[in-house]
Amino acid sequence: MTLSAHKVLFSVITLAALLGFGWVLIVYVLSFRAAQWVVDRIEDGMVPRRLALRPVHPARAPYRPSYYRDVYMR
């Protein structure tokens, strides 16, 4: 092959490699963003609610006489 044919072949191979790398980069970025979105959704579900972190005062707690439900206490 002549020198110009080598240049054309090298240019075509370089262009194909750059396009392939571009596609790989685009797919990688999109998959990373999708994975980050999934992780964020999971973490949003795992975060405890603010009300559950506060202690409940005994006087303000709902009155639940559980011993009334015992058969032997009736």
Residue type at position 64: R
What is the pTM assigned to this prediction? 0.37
From CA 28, how far away is CA 19, in angstroms rounded? 14
pLDDT value, residue 14:
94
| pLDDT (0 to 100) of residue 43 | 79
Which positions ≥6 away from 23 have C-beta within 8 Å?
Answer: none
Q: Which pLDDT value is given to residue 22?
A: 86
Cβ atoms of 73 and 67 within 8 Å: the answer is yes
**Amino acid letter, residue 51:** L
Q: What is the structure's pLDDT at 61?
A: 59
Distance CA 35, CA 27 (A): 12
Domain ranges (residues) in the chain: 1-46
Consecutive 10-residue runs of the chain (74 residues): their mean pLDDT? 86 92 86 87 68 59 59 58
